[in-house]
Amino acid sequence: MSAAHKGALVFVYGSLMHPQVVQTLLGRQPDEKSATLTGYSRHPLKECVYPGITKVDEKEGGSSDGSNSSSRVVGKVLSVDMERELPIFDAFEDDEYKRETLDVELDDGSLVSAFVYVWTVKEALVFQEKWEMDEEFEKVHLEKYLQMCEEFVKNGYRFDD
């Protein structure tokens, strides 16, 4: 990346882990590394094919709703252009997510600071279930999801209301 472009690290843990989704949104496949976010749990969202994460309440031993959930989220760190590509992710993640800067652990054990989109509408999370990027997403949901991503790009990085 040239000196004129500032890079940013983004931790992704849901549909953005799929290379075709990122390729559709950014028009390229950024460098990526496997990573883990500690202190958060990932859950499906009601009536959605993508997840949200929420901070685990350490005092309760589980998620902020009191459930006993794993406090580690496995995902990827993507290297993106801060000026051109980060705003695309901001628009894609919409208002229900809040972008925070958190430390994530790479597979080699090193910690890096990355942007993470944290879900803000806890009532929409299905805490009793875990969300995993699996074959079902690819076989059942990917084609329609990619069409939605293509429309998002065609609409100037906006969703139709």
Q: How far is Cα 43 from Cα 73, in angstroms, rounded to an integer?
A: 10
Task: Please give the CATH number for the structural domain made up of 7-154.
Answer: 3.10.490.10
* pLDDT tens-digit series, residues 9-26: 999 999 999 999 999 999
What is the model's pTM? 0.87
Contact 11, 37 (CB under 8 A): yes
Quick: pLDDT tens for 16-69. 999 999 999 999 999 999 999 999 999 989 888 999 999 997 664 444 444 444
β-partners of residue 42 are 53
15 within 8 A of 50, measured Cβ to Cβ:
yes
Positions marked active-site: 93
